[in-house]
Chain A
Amino acid sequence: EVQLVESGGGLVQPGGSLKVSCAVSGFTLNNYWMSWVRHTPRKGLEWVANINEDATERYYVDSAEGRFTISRDNPKNSVFLQMNSLRVEDTAVYYCVRDSYNLLDLWGQGTLVTVSS
């Protein structure tokens, strides 16, 4: 079965750090770009970052640049998002997403990150 399973979300204080993970199964991870997309009821969906097949290219939304780092471990079928200097406005459900020719074609169930004091 093709699936992506996120983990690692939780409650963190403003200024803190958190690393969320994504376990991939059912397809060959090293054939695909991967993205992280976040969702809040108020702002909707926002693409956060993506990474190419061999991790030689990474791109970020402006608000994440310099604070977030996307990475991957293809042999372990995993993708990660390290988030530092977290802000209240980073509170969201974070989705791991397969990124195929600019289409976000396969999504996980998401992991909730709450930034609050």
Chain B
Amino acid sequence: EIVMTQSPATLSVSPGDRATLSCRASQSVGVNVAWYQLRPGQAPRLLIYGASTRATGIPARFSDSGSGTEFTLTISSLQSEDFAVYYCQQYNAWPRTFGQGTKVEIK
């Protein structure tokens, strides 16, 4: 199965600053990567997928880039509601696999 590796494990960022999260696949997955956000007490949500297509209702401050094996999620100006855990997931090959997550915390 394809292993997804995220870095860093924890990212400390001040509100209003930019956050850059990385995700690496153990083999090429094309552009078939999605990002999810988990906040305590809330349902997880799909953020962005397939080369920067944002899911319904996701603000433009979320963007992603990359293809093949290297992917980046960027949050351009962190808002209070953005402090959460983010997971990348590949859907190019079966089984779908997730990274281990990056926690974005307040600096």
Surface stretch bound by B, among A22-30, A81-89, A104-112: A104-112
Interface string of A35-46 (1 = CB under 8 A from B): 000010001111
- 9 A-B pairs (CB sep. < 8 Å): A4-B43, A43-B100, A44-B100, A59-B95, A62-B95, A95-B43, A103-B46, A108-B43, A109-B43
How many chain A residues touch B (CB < 8 A): the figure is: 20
Q: Kindly state the interface size class of chain B when it binds its partner.
A: 20 to 34
Contact of A107 among B45, B91, B98, B101 (CB under 8 A): B45
Q: Which of A104, A107, A110 has the most CB of B within 10 A?
A: A104
Given contacts A45-B89, A108-B43, contact A61 B95 (CB under 8 A): yes
When chains A and B are docked, how far (Å) is the Cα of A46 from the Cα of B100?
Answer: 9
Question: Which residues of the partner chain B approach A4 to less than 8 Å between Cβ atoms?
Answer: 43
Interface: B61 (CB within 8 A):
no
Contact of B96 among A95, A102, A108, A109 (CB under 8 A): A102
The 6 closest A-B pairs by CB, nearest first: A102-B91, A45-B98, A107-B43, A107-B44, A44-B101, A44-B100
* B interface list, Cβ under 8 A from A: 32, 34, 36, 38, 42-46, 49, 55, 87, 89, 91, 94-101
**Pair B36/A45 contact, Cβ less than 8 Å:** yes
